[in-house]
Structure 1
Amino acid sequence: MKKLGILLLALSFLVACQVEAPQPEAPPADEPDEVTITIEDYYPFLENTYLTYEGIGMEFAERETYFDFIRNRRAQVRNHSTGTTVVQILEYQDGTLKLLFSRGEVYNLSDYTNANFAKEGEILLMEPIEVGTNWQLPDGRRREITGINVAIETPSGNYEALEVTTEGNEETQTKTYYVEGLGMVLSIFQTQEDEVITTLENIQEDTDVTYVLRCYYPDFENEQLVYKDFDIPFQTNDEIRPTYIEHLQRAPNGSILPVFTENITLQSFSYNPEEELVVVDLSDNFVTEMNLGAGYESLAIQSIVNTVGFNFSVEKVVITLDGSLYESGHFQLQEGEYFQVHYENVVPLD
């Protein structure tokens, strides 16, 4: 009996030890990684997307926007308004979104994305994306992120937006609102007396646009140039070089010769914003293949110069042959020289 009591006591001690023994702590649950919002979220470059904005308070406040080219971290965007069409080059750069280039009166098929822009550009957005981030613009204005998840209403829908406020030098203020995955949806420009609003009205995805390509051709018989406009369907990132080649190699009718033959090709365009000119590079067989006399060569060169100059909205064009300045038995470009666009003695082709 005594032995049984001792055994029961021992068993009760073991059970007590098991119950009271500390349990190993469960490993902490993994916390979800914090999502970092970037400029590319609030201002994406949208491919094949046509954005229509309603304008209030000013005739030119309404606009239509399309991204022509998206290359690496740079984009060419075209804004069509009642008064003009403006081409802009935007770039994601070191935690900022910069406006590097802006040019009005650009209506035709052209590409400025490969240019080297010496100026710093205007910062549209800056990281970190948080209230209080601020910066000064080259003209003295100040820009600041003043709100996140701000509720706004537009004809295209209601959104929660990033609010950026720009304080002007003459008691002006602009509030711009950006939405993740969409970009700018609302802009309100205010003075003491007026208010101008640009607000997103419609989003059309998977669509193209139409740009005009004007080509000039030699009319050797009448010692003049003729031109013809072509409507070119265009989608984001379509290469323009093959389109130029196709139309310059093809005569518009039986009485007009093409600018160059099928054995000659246009190799590249390069826009120089400092000199306000375009360098167009042709294959080095241009002179030998065309076998031109001085008169026809002059008309052919002027056709190329006018075609490139008109569509890129410049007055100066440099022609190179496989990278070397143009040289033939009749014409030779020296370093720093260029061909001038001329519209005298030019008529539309019926």
Structure 2
Amino acid sequence: MKKFGFLFSLFFLALILSSCRFFNQGEPDSDSSISQSSSEESRVSSSSAESSATSSSQEAASSSSSTAEEPESLTLAAYFPDTANKHYIYEGEGNEFASYDVYTDYAKDNRKQIRKNNGGTEEVMVIELEKDQIKTRLSRGEAYSRENWLDQEPGEEEGTEVLLKAPLKEGTTWPAIGERTRTITGINVSVETPMGTYETVEVTTEGSEDKVVDYYAPDIGLVKTVFTSDDYNVTSTLSQIETDVPLIQTVRFYYPNADGEMLSYVDKELAFKTNDVTKKAIELAYKESPNESVGKVLSDNTTILSLYLNTDGRVYVDFSKELISEMNAGSAYETLILQSIVNTIGGYYYMNEVYLTVEGQPYSTGHIQKEEGESFTVNTENSSELQ
């Protein structure tokens, strides 16, 4: 199991390299445009693409010239394209978690926040593209909520690591986490995938007991990873790229019953594209009451001003003043409305404590008063699924 966990982390480190944005290179002149077009055609050899791959993926793996590109002409940007609103699908062999899906939650300037789901857990990593290297800023496991960490400084256990380094030529070597060494071991290495055959850059990471080899194709990113340790062999290979595909998350929304006795919940699927704001999606979904057997939680004019997971392990949510001024509820029903909000927000973040404020101030009405820093607690005992 220790190897499985380590393998999972290594796969994810390699995967996120495929998501960096190009540096702004400016408009090329006519000669450079012709040169780029020629080299682009030489990168991918002809191969049959699976019918499930998208048209853009098929074009990337189309027939081309057999002329190889010179190593000195390769750049980091060529191997880390913009992946906003794209869904990368990898099929695995040798381990139940070798297959996974990848989405880009957020992107800004030269930073990306990537989400990987292997069916067992979700992991998020923020990476940064620099002129001569790609490095991680932070990585967090069990990250099921969409929290924007692009500008967040890493914690003590979230140190940076160089994932790829210039110059992109055989022999370029640098240290990796865990007393390991990472080296570019091949240029123009042919790799077969369900999407076609690619000419790739081969990067090998070696430790005392195992080895990971990653293959990166121009304008695609990571196309294959191979992990070996003794007789243990695991591979993950890119099988499909879907474009304009949102991340779908299922969120459980709680509502007070119309009779004022208990809570009912309903699961809703929320669609998130790259850079969509989580608080806005939750707000809009909450304003849609499932039926007349439950009451409204948020009025049409109520807005969520801020929503985030704090370092103290509590979820902080701040509402506009309309949460109170347009609630129009007695003491018992107000309690149900607040418990609905707390259960929904806390449940989405997998946290039990929610610090709820209104216009930056502790929640306070004629019925309920909270002190500065005093939070509400998730309690789902008095609730059932909406029928």
**TM interval, short-chain normalised:** 0.7 to 0.9
**Number of equivalenced pairs:** 312
- Any residues of structure 2 matched to 1:130-169 within 5 Å, and which? 130=168, 131-137=171-177, 139-168=178-207
1:100 counterpart = 2:138: yes
Aligned to 2:220: 182
Counterpart amino acid of 1:161?
A: T
Do the aligned residues in 2 keep the contact of 1:126 with 1:133 (CA within 8 Å)? Answer: no
Do the aligned residues in 2 keep the contact of 1:112 with 1:271 (CA within 8 Å)? Answer: no
Counterpart amino acid of 1:347?
A: S
Unaligned runs of 5+ in 2: 1-30, 36-71
Q: 1:53 to 1:276 in 2, by over 3 A?
A: same
SS where residue 342 of structure 2 aligns? helix
- Any residues of structure 2 matched to 1:55-94 within 5 Å, and which? 55-84=92-121, 86-92=122-128, 94=130
1:47 deviates by: 1.8
**Correspondent of 1:205 among 243, 246, 262:** 243
SS where residue 174 of structure 1 aligns? strand
1:213 deviates by: 2.8
Distance 2:150 2:335 in 1: 29
Q: Looking at CA atoms only, which structure, 1 or 2, has the larger radius of gyration? A: 1
Q: Give runs of ≥4 in structure 1 deviating > 6 Å.
A: 31-34
Query: 1:140-162 deviations in whole A, cap 9, x for unaligned?
Result: 44433333333222222222222
1:254 deviates by: 1.0
Q: 1:220 to 1:135 in 2, by over 3 A?
A: farther
1:48 counterpart = 2:61: no
Distance 2:159 2:218 in 1: 23
1:304 counterpart = 2:344: no
Q: 1:167 to 1:223 in 2, by over 3 A?
A: farther
1:132 deviates by: 2.2
Distance 2:260 2:304 in 1: 26
Identity of aligned residues (%): 33
SS where residue 293 of structure 2 aligns? coil
Do the aligned residues in 2 keep the contact of 1:74 with 1:113 (CA within 8 Å)? Answer: no
SS where residue 295 of structure 2 aligns? coil
1:257 counterpart = 2:295: yes
Distance 2:237 2:258 in 1: 52
Q: 1:195 to 1:111 in 2, by over 3 A?
A: same
Do the aligned residues in 1 keep the contact of 2:173 with 2:181 (CA within 8 Å)? Answer: no
Counterpart amino acid of 1:221?
A: D
1:269 counterpart = 2:307: yes
**Correspondent of 2:320 among 283, 286, 290:** 283
Aligned to 1:191: 229
When the two structures are superposed, what TM-score results if normalisation uses the length of structure 2?
A: 0.71
Q: 1:277 to 1:161 in 2, by over 3 A?
A: farther
- Tell me which moved more, 66-75 or 178-187: 66-75
1:218 counterpart = 2:224: no
Q: CA RMSD in A?
A: 2.9
1:42 deviates by: 2.2
Unaligned runs of 5+ in 1: 1-30
1:192 deviates by: 0.6
Q: 1:325 to 1:87 in 2, by over 3 A?
A: farther
Q: 1:192 to 1:249 in 2, by over 3 A?
A: same
